[in-house]
A and B are shown apart, each in its own frame.
Chain A
Amino acid sequence: MSDVYLQALLSGLMIGGVYALVAVGLTLIFGVMDIINFAHGEFLMFGMYAAFFASVLFGIDPYVTAVLALPAFFAVGWAIQGTLIKPVVGKSHAIQILLTLGLSLLLQALAQYLFSADFQSLKLDYADATLQIAGARIGWTRVAAFAISMGLCLALWLFLQRTDTGKALRACAEEHEGSLAVGIDLGRMYKIAFGLGIACVAIAGIAMTPFFYVAPVVGPKFTLVAFVIVVLGGLGNIPGAVAGALIVGVVESVGALVMPSPSLKDLAVYVLFILVLLFRPQGLFGGKGA
């Protein structure tokens, strides 16, 4: 019996790590620009398709694709910010939500048109290798996804703490007029934030491709989970998002065991979400910049 729980705990942590990378991108974009990117999950989906087709068509390993995709998706995010998102920065939330939600639908439709609506998955010869921890078994591909995600979250954190550009990003998340006063180019910071956010979520998608299905509709679930995590961790708070993601991963995975039906596992997450909104609306770890 206890092995079952250990198994659930470890599985939850592994997927929670991937959620962290998705959520960190969302919270970075929110922190700097005050925009919730409801098309976030669609970039995860495009990351997955990039890994899928690179493997199927050219035999490129997903982990190699991940390295190549980092600058590519950063550039995509940069370009989307500079064209589509730029006009709505600082506008009403309703307009921003309509835009990013519209972008989400557009990207899903585009994916259906380009890749068909079929669910597909990669067959890799190392996909079944597992790691034994006490009574539990974890697939190596999941361990790798966890390690890649945590590594990138840490790298992003160090970038924000140590470099001038990172500090400038935090500065404009905190204080717009102060940023203008010290000569920070806000437009450039927005492009960097969106580029980094999109690169993070796309890499999360690529890291999952060895063990997760690929389909045009895979995105919204991740957007929603990331949104829950971002609220849990405190809007704009990056370490909070990482901790929130691990909590959500474990609650979801253990929830599948303790709930009367495994299909109710998401319920546990949303109950937690509502409890936090009721009793600690600033998030478990406080808001921006904390």
Chain B
Amino acid sequence: MSMLAIRDLHSGYGDVPILHGFDLDIEERMIGAVVGANGAGKTTTMRAVAGILPTWRGEISLAGERIDGLTPRQRVEAGVVLVPEGRKLFPSMTVRENLELGSLHPRAKAARAQTLEQVFDIFPRLLEREGQKAGTLSGGEQQMCAIGRGLMSLPRLLMLDEPSLGLAPIIVQTIFDIVRRIREEGVTVLMVEQNVRHALALSDRAWVLEQGRVEFEGAGQEMLNDDRVRKAYLGM
């Protein structure tokens, strides 16, 4: 069974449609990447899955259970966690407070101390910066804090929206290494990336989105060698 199954999803902002119906399936413990031009609907997809945007038509299921009728809070509890584009940390609160705010629902709260230890194990940097305000962190540290905050919710599906945006190449590598590690811990990862080459190399499955529809999909490595993808997104 798929960890996340999207069927004929329609969504958008206000009354402006962005997604015009598409299907997406990602298996448990896979890394999936959604790539495509700006405005293709990548971020909209993630927001719709997280419940920040409404599902106008279609179905979203997590491990076989419909979630499209749930509130954002209920979806976090069910294990769907979004790390939004631009991190969206709480800038004047400390790193520790930001992480704690990731574990508000009862199941996460009960495991808070333990999960916090795991997050600090993955991101030793965050432990060093524990008492520092999140707004004063470097871009890479902020991304670590945002991913850490997401992990605090004990996700089954972690959605990363542009995790490498605005980061130095060496930090990008660190972030992608961490994505791999998160998958090893049993979490399914779905990410949106403008760094297409990196994203495809890392992912088990990838979808190319164009104007609110899936244009084509396949295994990440295959896509790297696909002429259409190479022409359109890798400039070769």
Contacts and interface: CB of A to CB of B under 8 A. Distances in A.
Given A164-B100, A183-B77, A178 B72 contact: no
A183 to B, nearest CB: 3
A271 interface: no
B7 to A, nearest CB: 24
Contact of B101 (A177, A182, A290): A182
Contacts of B89: 175, 178
B136 interface: no
Interface residues of B, number: 31
Given A164-B109, A177-B84, A183 B104 contact: yes
B86 to A, nearest CB: 8
Nearest to B76: A183
A182 B149 contact: yes
Contacts of B104: 164, 168, 182-184
A77 to B, nearest CB: 22
By secondary structure, the A interface counts as helix
Interface string A26-43: 000000000000000000
A131 B137 CA distance: 51
Interface residues of A, number: 18
B90 A170 contact: yes
Interface in B60-98: 71-77, 81-84, 87-93, 97
A182 B76 CA distance: 7
23 contacts: A167-B93, A167-B100, A167-B101, A170-B90, A175-B91, A177-B84, A178-B84, A178-B87, A178-B88, A178-B90, A181-B50, A181-B76, A181-B83, A181-B150, A182-B76, A182-B101, A182-B102, A182-B104, A183-B73, A183-B76, A183-B77, A184-B73, A289-B92
Interface of A: 164, 167-168, 170-171, 174-175, 177-178, 180-185, 288-290
